[in-house]
Amino acid sequence: MEREVLERGLLLTTIGKGVAWARKNSMWPATFGLACCAIEM
């Protein structure tokens, strides 16, 4: 039981770090609303 909880916690921590990295390195706010066709840029 203890090992299962540890493995799940490790997985969630890894996923959380991945999401935080993706948010930090995301470029979509840079083009949001800066051009009439910002989505196409």
Give the 3-state secondary structure of residue 32: coil
d(CA 19, CA 7): 18
Number of neighbours of residue 29 by Cβ within 10 angstroms: 9
The tens place of each residue's pLDDT in the chain, 41 residues long, gives: 456 655 666 666 677 787 888 888 776 665 555 556 655 55
Query: Do residues 3 and 9 lie in contact, with contact meaning Cβ atoms separated by under 8 Å?
Result: no
d(CA 39, CA 31): 7
Domains of the chain, by residue range, sit at: 2-40
